[in-house]
Amino acid sequence: MPQPVWKIDSAKLTKVRQERGLSPGDVADRMGVSDRMIHYYEAGVHSPSVSRLGDLALALGCTPADLTRGPRGEASLVDLRYAAGFTAASVAARLQEDPAGHGHVIDYRKIRDLEEGRKVAGKILRDPEVSGLLASTLARMYGVPPRVLVDAWMRSRPDDVPPKLRSRGSEHPSVRAAEIWEGLNERQRIYLTACYQEDQEVERQVTAARAAGSGKRIPAAEWRKVLFTIKADPEFTGYTSLQDRLRVLGEHDAGAGQTFKALAARGLVVVSEDQVEVFPLGFVPRIRVELTRMGRACARVGAGEDVPPRRPAHLLSEWLWSSLMKVASAEPDGLAEDDMWGKSKFYLGTGYRPHGGRSRGLIDEIPVREGEGEDAFVREYRWHLTDAGRQHIAQHRDTYQGMYPNILVVELA
């Protein structure tokens, strides 16, 4: 197996542990390992295996991605899998359970072949539509945008035809959403509707708070994770709002986990687990549920609400495409650092993380050096297109011309 470029970030690990008020011994006890192992991780002597990374994240009440780092713009398929805390075998198992996935049997050997750049049997590589469906499914599992997964795919397999991500730009989302809604049983519909109602209530509260200028600004990626349950005696925690909705309907029981699993397999929700401190119990697990875009659209269909068409998720908004063309027009000299206005760099620039998520990595700051040897110094930084940026422009230029006719598309050398 190729070794991941990304490793555990010892500084992040120490920071998260200290924020949780835990000692290395506390973390070690939760993981069932020696104190020395935690010290090795924080000293950068060792980096945990992917399975051990998942245990470490669970012990700290965070995600594996919160503890990892890697060179800018160099993430491969194995890096994304590592940062998500999955082994090749666990990925294969989830793919086999996912009816919204790829339509082909993929075992852990094929996952390894895919990551190592070797030939993969079947239609996965011969048909860009099939590889695009697999890429979208892996992106959902790893918690990254499909475009980020495709970039990692091409770094791992540069000779492949790029996976073709499914575009719904001209198709009303309610068409697909209605098909999925019809395929749900009554219990699944009730759970999805309850999640949607809770999601909308939280959104109203956040919108009201922002309008009033009160409270800390919390990114949607966080507040859309609706709390479902805290795994402790309700005597200490009570019931969550989502549980109360289901209790009123008589649908809150021990089978909730399987229902959420079925909804997650259809790409309608994302279920996550971390830890929260409950007095006097200490840290206990909690389960949060986040509706996906399709999950929200599907719930709207069930509620009889109209769903407006959306721009394909893998394409840029008009202002980001304009900014990308601005950099492209400045090649080969590059665009001066200060000429990248607004927040474009946070969404396009390699290594930037808007709202904690991964950026697209389509441009990068390259230093302009003067002098030689010990007298060399960096005079300035200039923005240049990355290989991923050039590939994105070449692959989608015609589509962008139709979407944004007022923006001149630069011809790349």
Q: Is residue 294 part of a domain?
A: yes
Q: Is residue 408 part of a domain?
A: no
Tokens describing residue 70: 């890697």
Asked if 177 and 144 touch (Cβ cutoff 8 Å), the reply is no
How many C-beta neighbours within 10 Å does residue 179 have? 11
Supply the pLDDT for residue 101.
46
Supply the pLDDT for residue 71.
56
Q: Is residue 409 part of a domain?
A: no
Quote the DSSP letter at residue 161: P
Q: Do residue 120 and residue 231 come from a single domain?
A: no
Dist CA 19 CA 42 (whole Å): 14
Q: Do residue 90 and residue 210 come from a single domain?
A: no
Supply the pLDDT for residue 204.
84
Q: Do residue 273 and residue 209 come from a single domain?
A: yes
Supply the pLDDT for residue 171.
45
Q: Do residue 142 and residue 15 come from a single domain?
A: yes
Supply the pLDDT for residue 340.
81
Q: Is residue 80 part of a domain?
A: yes
Supply the pLDDT for residue 127.
79
Q: Is residue 54 part of a domain?
A: yes
Q: What is the CATH number of the domain that holds 87?
A: 1.10.260.40
pLDDT under 70: residue ranges of the chain: 1-7, 65, 69-73, 97-105, 123, 166-174, 210-217, 306-311, 313, 353-358
How many structural domains compose the chain? 3
359 dihedral zone (left: phi>0; alpha: psi -120 to 50; beta): beta
Q: Is residue 308 part of a domain?
A: no
Strand 68-69, strand 363-370: pairing = unpaired
Alpha carbon distances (Å) from 252 to 190, 240, 243: 10, 11, 7
pLDDT, one tens digit per residue, over 42-85 is 887 887 877 788 788 888 877 776 777 655 567 788 888 887 77
pLDDT, one tens digit per residue, over 339-376 is 887 778 888 888 776 655 567 789 999 998 888 877 78
Quote the DSSP letter at residue 254: T
Q: Do residue 26 and residue 60 come from a single domain?
A: yes
Q: Do residue 14 and residue 148 come from a single domain?
A: yes
Query: Domain range holding 30?
Result: 7-156
Q: Do residue 63 and residue 133 come from a single domain?
A: yes
Q: What is the CATH number of the domain that holds 345?
A: 1.10.10
Q: Do residue 103 and residue 216 come from a single domain?
A: no
Q: Do residue 88 and residue 53 come from a single domain?
A: yes
Dist CA 355 CA 345 (whole Å): 13
Q: Do residue 226 and residue 285 come from a single domain?
A: yes
Q: Is residue 28 part of a domain?
A: yes
Q: Do residue 64 and residue 96 come from a single domain?
A: yes
Q: Do residue 35 and residue 84 come from a single domain?
A: yes
Dist CA 245 CA 227 (whole Å): 12
pTM given for the model: 0.40
Dist CA 345 CA 359 (whole Å): 9
Supply the pLDDT for residue 173.
53
Backbone angles phi, psi at 52, to 5 degrees: -70, -35
